[in-house]
Each structure stands twice: as C-alpha cells, then as structure tokens.
Structure 1
Amino acid sequence: MSSSSSIFSNIGNKKECKCRLPVMILTSWTKEHPAKRFVVCPNRYKTGVKKCNFWDWYDDDVENEWYRTHLYEMYRLLNPSQRRELETKISSQEEVVLLQLEMQTMRDELSKCQKKAFFWKSAVILFVVVWFVSSMN
C-alpha cells in the first residue's frame, strides 16, 4: 500500500473516500503502470451528482523496469478475446459497485417517501377524527 493511501479511512476491510462511499479498486493496464491497482470514488463517474475527484494508487510502484515491461507485454500477448474477457471482468466489477450504490440511494429515497407518507396519512386520519368529533357536537 502506498504511503499516500492515508487519504482514505479504513473501516474494517472497506476503504472509503471523503464522500464516505466505498472506493472502487481498479487496475491500470498502461505501459507505465501495467497491473497496478488504483482506487477511485464511485461519484467520479456518476452524472447528476456532485463529482468527487478522489483518486490514489493502491499498489506501490514496480521498481524493476524489466518486470514492468514484461507484465505489459504479457497483457498485450493475450489474444484479443482474452484481453476483452479480462477487461469485461474488470468493468463488470465496477458496474456491480455502481449498481450497489444506486440501490442504496434508492433504498434511502424509499425510506424518506415512506416516512412522508406515514406523516400525511396520520395527519389525514387525525383531521377526519377531529372533524367527525366536532360534527357530533
């Protein structure tokens, strides 16, 4: 883990950014950083929400140039379907995290709506009871 990883807090085994959302751990496949993992806030990719620019390396740099070059070359040597499979697997994991966050947002909204509905239902019942009692007098 890099020394700059103190930017996000460690709660159990989950890492969070300053938005208090679990960060996504992604993998770089560039020539400079093959197979090097990094973390980003899911809000970095969402539209319609305040974007979070949180981004940091998860892994330390590979010090050996030979190793770094061979990692990248091995990735390039995978046949195209293997590369697509690897990239699809990684992007599927990202999608799962984003869907889980969206589901949590929907659950929160549903809970708020249920509380409002309960309040208004109670207010209407109270109004009807008061009206009924006052009309009896």
Structure 2
Amino acid sequence: MTSYSSTGSFNRGARQGVRRTCDCGDLVGMWTAWTARNPGLRFVGCPNYKDENQDCGYFHWIDPQLSNNWYREQLLALHNLRNGQQNIVQEVGRGQHNGI
C-alpha cells in the first residue's frame, strides 16, 4: 500500500541543492513516503502530481535511502502501529468502536 503524508513547509532547498519551484514554476511540495521500500523518507515534487496534464514530473529525494532492510521494516511497522492506534482513538472519540 502506498501512502504519503504532507509535512508542511519546505525551507532546505538552497542548502541541499533542491529547487524551491518545479518546472511548472509552482512551489514544490514536501511529503514523507510510507511505502515498504522507502518508509519515512522525505521527498519534494511538483504539487500538480495528481493531474497528468499539469504535472511536470519534478521529484527529488531529501533523505538518503535506508541501507538496512531490518530498519526499514521496523520503521514501517511502527508507523503502521501508530496509525492503527490513532484510528482507534478517533473511533472511540466518535463512539463508533465497541471493542474498548
């Protein structure tokens, strides 16, 4: 399952050689990948990526690739566990979870 989450403003561009704008001229967006292959890695890209006609294809990893498979698996498992617990808390808050 592919998942991305927005991480807010991006202010490291010049220092790391990453552009602040994409080829469209728009400010790039920054997200965190939560895929099995790249858990927790931040990247920037064209904010129009969901629109095939407007996406310029700009993409750049911010973080280096994780070299250890065990670490990748643990990071993803913790992320998924945290998200599962947050979902339960939200359901309890809405009175929709009967198991607690």
Change (3 A) 1:76 1:43: closer
TM-score, normalised to structure 2, is: 0.58
Change (3 A) 1:52 1:61: same
Unaligned segments of structure 2, at least 5 residues? 1-11, 90-100
CA distance in 2, matches of 1:37, 1:79: 18
How many correspondences in the alignment? 75
Deviation per residue, 1:1-57 (Å, 9 max, x gap):
9xxx74x43xxxxx222222111001111111111111111122247x533111221
Match of 1:38 in 2: 43
Partner of 1:17, secondary structure, is: coil
Letter in 1 for 2:59: W
Match of 2:4 in 1: none
Match of 1:62 in 2: 66
Deviation at 1:71, TM superposition (A): 0.2
Higher relative contact order (CA 8 A, sep 6+): 2
Match of 1:52 in 2: 56
Runs of 4+ aligned residues of structure 1 deviating over 6 Å after TM superposition are none
Change (3 A) 1:50 1:75: closer
The higher radius of gyration belongs to 1
CA distance in 1, matches of 2:21, 2:35: 25
CA distance in 2, matches of 1:59, 1:74: 19
Match of 2:81 in 1: 77
Match of 2:24 in 1: 19
Unaligned segments of structure 1, at least 5 residues? 10-14, 86-137
Q: Which has the higher helix share?
A: 1
Partner of 2:64, secondary structure, is: coil
Percent identity, please.
32
Q: Is the 8 Å Cα contact of residues 32 and 68 (structure 1) preserved in structure 2?
A: yes
Please report the RMSD computed on the Cα atoms of aligned residues, expressed in angstroms: 2.9
TM-score, normalised to structure 1, is: 0.44
